[in-house]
């Protein structure tokens, strides 16, 4: 099969045949720069493979960026230590669940227990609002989305909030979320527009979800602007939720403490212009982190495994990237068929979390071994802190 090379950081971890075929399809596109870099958490995605780094020149693939634009992680070390936490952590979990809108039923602040929009949400929305108006002036369909309403909310699926302990028993807060409903709408709209623009060429693509915008085409600049806005929304969304989690913990624990003694806020579904091998290229990270020399990042395991704060080694062959997590080894549907509530209870015995049928798709066994994933990328990152979960709130 012709196309650009594909370089893998997957020694010791499985790569499903479907994901390999998907990578080969992407590598055939004429504007791929040098090679595609594949991270150890690689698995099948929609359009492009999750856990891949796709450098391009003169074109961008909306489905490679995906619909969870700007999804990523934020973590903050506090001045608390394990001894400051109560023996029973159920109350702390419930305090976080009550403070942060999450899940299918309570996905936005105008439902359920979250009727009041905090002042900090309004403050965070103001710098986003004018840019959003410019985008919706051209694409009015995006006005009818949950945008401001979703700011400061977690979402569903694999999005989560955790309380963790590091190797010195210091308490960290960590969460995973992105640009929510409005990011999904932006991604969906521009994927459709790319396919419509390329309708006569779709038959020549290895996958219709690889439809792309060429630089200088009608929607290219608008898409770049909308993606950058969604990425900023996602970063603000995580920061707002972190503020809420810290405040909820202070009230529940009845003690003051410092937060953000160490802090990281990073995307892992996004695109941006970068310099690599002496040339400016568009780098799409589909489930991958930027790992420039000295740059901090977060690589979470499953809800029953370890997570890591890492420092990038700036490996040029990976386009200065690393994995964004453990990566799934089976679909959500497969996990729900294979495992039971009793399996979930056993796998998360050491974590204060929900243990019911609705979260079986997130059972630790549905994910790759995080230790194997970290071993496969020793030349991409170094571990700064090892975290273990003691509380997990799922979306």
Please report the beta strands in 86-130, taking only residues with DSSP state E, as ranges in sequence order. none
Residue 352 lies in a domain: no
- Which CATH number goes with the domain that contains 107? 3.90.1860.10
Total residues found in the chain within this entry: 395
Report the range out of 112-126, 356-370, 380-394 with the highest average pLDDT.
Answer: 380-394
Calculate the CA dihedral of residues 55, 60, 63, 69 and round it to 10 degrees. Answer: 80
Mean of pLDDT values over 129-142: 97
Q: What is the mean pLDDT of the chain?
A: 93
More confident residue, 331 or 258: 258
Mean of pLDDT values over 282-288: 97
Nearest to 191 by CA among 53, 319, 45, 330: 45
Output the CA angle 142-228-35, nearest 5 degrees. 120
| Residues tagged active-site | 324
Residue 51 lies in a domain: yes
Residue 131 lies in a domain: yes
Confidence of residue 237 (pLDDT cuts 50, 70, 90): very high
Report the alpha-carbon distance of residue 38 to residue 158 in Å, rounded.
Answer: 21
Mean of pLDDT values over 317-338: 94
Q: What is the pTM of this model?
A: 0.94
Q: State yes or no: pLDDT of 38 exceeds 90.
A: yes
Tell me what pLDDT residue 158 has.
86
Confidence of residue 107 (pLDDT cuts 50, 70, 90): very low
Mean of pLDDT values over 222-249: 97
Mean of pLDDT values over 193-202: 87
Residue 137 lies in a domain: yes
Give the count of domains, the chain: 1
Per the structure, the complete domain to which residue 295 belongs is given by 6-329+367-394
Residues 6+ apart with CB under 8 A from 40: 9, 10, 11, 12, 13, 51, 323, 327, 368, 372, 373, 376, 377
Confidence of residue 367 (pLDDT cuts 50, 70, 90): very high
Report the alpha-carbon distance of residue 284 to residue 33 in Å, rounded.
Answer: 11
Residue 334 lies in a domain: no
Calculate the CA dihedral of residues 105, 98, 247, 124 and round it to 10 degrees. Answer: 20
Q: Which helix (H) or strand (E) holds 210?
A: none
Residues of the chain with pLDDT > 90, as a percent, come to 84
Confidence of residue 304 (pLDDT cuts 50, 70, 90): confident
Tell me what pLDDT residue 116 has.
54
Confidence of residue 337 (pLDDT cuts 50, 70, 90): very high
Contact 337, 363 (CB under 8 A): no
Residue 91 lies in a domain: yes
Tell me what pLDDT residue 78 has.
98
| Phi-psi group of 243: left, alpha or beta (phi > 0 → left; psi -120 to 50 → alpha; rest → beta) | alpha
- End-to-end Cα separation, the chain, in angstroms: 41
Rg (CA), the chain: 20
Residue 24 lies in a domain: yes
CA distances (Å), 216 to each of 152, 198, 224, 265, 357, in order?
35, 15, 12, 32, 49
Residues 6+ apart with CB under 8 A from 122: none
């Amino acid at each position: 099969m012709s196309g650009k090379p594909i370089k893998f950081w997957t020694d010791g971890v499985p790569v499903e045949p479907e994901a390999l075929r998907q990578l080969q399809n992407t590598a055939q596109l004429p504007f791929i720069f040098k090679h595609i870099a594949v991270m150890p958490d690689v698995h099948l995605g929609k359009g492009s493979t999750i856990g891949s780094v796709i450098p391009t020149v003169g074109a961008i693939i909306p489905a490679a960026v995906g619909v969870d634009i700007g999804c990523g992680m934020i973590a903050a070390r506090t001045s608390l230590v394990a001894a400051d936490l109560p023996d029973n952590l159920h109350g702390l979990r419930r305090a976080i669940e009550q403070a942060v809108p999450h899940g299918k039923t309570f996905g936005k602040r105008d439902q359920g227990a979250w009727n009041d929009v905090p002042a900090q949400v309004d403050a965070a929305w103001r710098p986003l609002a004018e840019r959003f108006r410019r985008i919706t002036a051209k694409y009015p369909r995006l006005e009818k989305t949950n945008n401001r309403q979703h700011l400061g909310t977690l979402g569903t699926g694999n999005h989560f909030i955790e309380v963790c302990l590091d190797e010195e028993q210091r308490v960290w807060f960590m969460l995973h979320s992105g640009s929510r409903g409005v990011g999904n709408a932006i991604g969906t709209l521009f994927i459709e527009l790319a396919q419509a623009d390329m309708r006569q060429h779709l038959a020549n693509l290895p996958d219709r979800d690889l439809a792309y915008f060429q630089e200088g085409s009608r929607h290219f600049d608008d898409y770049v602007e909308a993606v950058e806005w969604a990425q900023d929304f996602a970063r603000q969304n995580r920061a707002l939720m972190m503020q809420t989690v810290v405040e909820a913990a202070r009230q529940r624990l009845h003690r003051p403490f410092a937060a953000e003694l160490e802090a990281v806020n990073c995307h892992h579904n996004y695109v941006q212009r970068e310099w690599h091998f002496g040339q400016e290229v568009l780098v799409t990270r589909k489930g991958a982190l930027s790992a420039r020399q000295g740059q901090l990042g977060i690589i979470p395991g499953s809800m029953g495994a370890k997570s890591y704060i890492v420092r990038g080694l700036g490996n040029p062959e990976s386009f200065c990237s690393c994995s964004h997590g453990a990566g799934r080894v089976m679909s959500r549907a497969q996990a729900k068929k294979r495992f039971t509530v009793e399996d979930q209870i056993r796998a998360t015995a050491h974590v204060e979390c929900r243990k019911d049928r609705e979260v079986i798709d997130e059972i630790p066994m549905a994910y790759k071994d995080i230790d194997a994933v970290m071993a496969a990328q020793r030349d991409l990152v170094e571990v700064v802190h090892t975290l273990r979960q003691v509380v997990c709130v799922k979306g």
